[in-house]
Amino acid sequence: MGSNFGKNYCISIFGESHGTALGINIEGIPAGTELDLDFIREEMKRRAPGRSELATPRVEKDEFEILSGFINGKTTGTPLAMIIRNADQRSKDYSEIAKKPRPGHADWSGMNRYNGFNDIRGSGHFSGRITAPLVFAGAIAKQLLKEKGILIAAHIKSIKDIKDRDFEESDITQKNIDKWRKMILPVLNEEIIPKMEETILKAKENKDSIGGTVEITVMGMKPGIGNPFFESMESELARIMFSVPSIKGIEFGAGFDIAKMTGYEANDEMYYDEKGEVKSYTNNNGGLIGGITNGMPINFKVAIKPPASIGKRQKTVNLETEKDDFLEVTGRHDPAIVPRAIVVLEAATAIVILDQLLEARKYNI
C-alpha cells in the first residue's frame, strides 16, 4: 500500500483521520535509547490543530501511547509501536463529499484506487492528520541526530507572494532553532509576520485557502553520506517529501535558478577552512553532489499547495446523479497548511538523514 519507508530506520504508518486511532511502527531504534518524551510532546504540539486562529479549530492534543518496544524509560531494540486516539471528529461534515468529490483533493483518485471502499471521513488515510505519526518518528530521529552534532532547521520561505529571506549558515544555531519551534509563523525577517497573518486570515474570511514554501537546512553532515542514482540523498529526501500531503515541488540549493547560470557560476569553488576541512564558497548544489553529501549544509525548499477543502462554491460532479454539480465544503479546515507543515517536513528530513547514516555505518563511513 506504500505506507512503509526506510531500510534501517523503518517506519510503517496506519490509521484514518476520523477512525479510532492512527499510529506508527518503528524499527531500527538502538536498544537502550532514552527517549526525551517531553521533547516529543512539544514536537507533536507544533503540528496539532487548534493552536491559533490561523489553523483549523479542530482540537486534537495528539497525545500518544507507546504500546511496545519501550520500558523503564528506554527502548528495548524491538519494534516501537505508538498510537494516537482520535477525539474531536465530526464525520457528518463529510456526508456530501461521499457523492461530490472535492476539486484538488484525493477524494476522486482515492475512490478509484480503492474501488469506493476508502474511508471518506476527514479524508481518511489521505488526511494531513496522518502526518502526526511522522512527527513522532522524526522527533526520535532528531534526538539521535543531535547526539551526532546534526541539526535540522526550517522556516517559512513564503506565504502566497510574501517572501522571507534565505537561510545563512550562521542562522543555524540551537538557540535559533529553539526560538523558531515556539513561533506560529517561524520566519527570519519577523517584520513580515503581520502581513502573513493578514493574508491567511483574509483567505479564511473569503472561504478560500493559500499555499507557500518552506526552506529546510541540515547542519553537521560529514561528506560521503548517500548513494548515486536510485538511492541518492536527493531522491530519498524527495521521496519522503512528496509523501507529505500537499507537497508539489522540491528544489535543492539554487534549485531551478541554477539552470540560468553558467558552469563557472554554478560550480561551488572549494577551499580549506581554519579546521583543515574542505568547504565551498557557495552552496548552489545544496550540499549534495552525485547524490552524496559534500560537507556543506544540505539545503532545499519545498512548495506546499493551498488546502483543497474550501468553503467557496466550486464545480464538481455528482456521482449519484451522474451530472455536473456544485460543492461548498463545510466543516473545519486550515486556510493555510504551511505553518503546521514545518514540523512535519523537519521530521521527514530527520527520518531520511538517520536512515542514510545507519546505512553508511554498514560500510564504515
* Residue 332 assigned as binding residue: yes
Average pLDDT for 198-226: 96
Burial of 182 from C-beta contacts in 10 A (0-12 / 13-18 / 19+) = exposed
* Residue 170 assigned as binding residue: no
Confidence of residue 362 (pLDDT cuts 50, 70, 90): confident
Average pLDDT for 273-294: 97
Average pLDDT for 206-216: 97
> In this predicted structure, what is the pLDDT of residue 129?
87
* Residue 305 assigned as binding residue: yes
Average pLDDT for 32-37: 97
Domain boundaries, the chain: 4-363
On whether the CB atoms of residues 146 and 36 are closer than 8 A, the answer is no
Helix, strand and coil percent figures for the chain, each rounded to 5 = 35, 25, 45
> In this predicted structure, what is the pLDDT of residue 93?
59
Average pLDDT for 106-135: 80
Confidence of residue 94 (pLDDT cuts 50, 70, 90): low
> In this predicted structure, what is the pLDDT of residue 134?
96
Average pLDDT for 299-313: 94
Average pLDDT for 324-350: 92
Average pLDDT for 212-220: 98
pLDDT at 221 over 80: yes
* Residue 308 assigned as binding residue: yes
Calpha distance 298→97 (Å, rounded): 41
Q: Going edge to edge, which strands form the sheet with 298-304?
A: 162-163, 151-159, 212-219, 298-304, 247-252
> In this predicted structure, what is the pLDDT of residue 124?
62
Residue with cell 496506519: 14
Burial of 156 from C-beta contacts in 10 A (0-12 / 13-18 / 19+) = buried
What is the reported pTM? Answer: 0.93
* Residue 126 assigned as binding residue: yes
* Residue 23 assigned as binding residue: no
| Digit-coded pLDDT (tens) for 232-263 | 999 999 999 999 999 999 999 999 999 999 99
* Residue 125 assigned as binding residue: yes
What proportion of the chain, given as a percentage, has pLDDT over 70?
A: 94
Nearest to 11 by CA among 127, 135, 152, 106: 135
* Residue 290 assigned as binding residue: yes
Torsion sign over Cα 93, 103, 304, 359: positive
| Digit-coded pLDDT (tens) for 137-194 | 999 999 999 999 999 999 999 999 999 999 999 999 999 999 999 999 999 999 999 9
Question: 349 — phi, psi (to 5°)?
Answer: -60, -45
> In this predicted structure, what is the pLDDT of residue 19?
79
On whether the CB atoms of residues 233 and 225 are closer than 8 A, the answer is yes
> In this predicted structure, what is the pLDDT of residue 333?
81
> In this predicted structure, what is the pLDDT of residue 131?
93
> In this predicted structure, what is the pLDDT of residue 117?
75
| Digit-coded pLDDT (tens) for 2-20 | 789 999 999 999 988 777 8
* Residue 7 assigned as binding residue: no
pLDDT at 86 over 90: no
> In this predicted structure, what is the pLDDT of residue 197?
96
Report the chain's mean pLDDT, rounded to a whole number. Answer: 92
Residue with cell 506508527: 24
Confidence of residue 125 (pLDDT cuts 50, 70, 90): low
* Residue 85 assigned as binding residue: no
Q: What DSSP line would sit under 266-280, residue for residue?
A: HS--EEE-TTS-EEE
> In this predicted structure, what is the pLDDT of residue 53?
74
State the CATH architecture for 4-363. Answer: 4-Layer Sandwich (3.60)
> In this predicted structure, what is the pLDDT of residue 40?
97
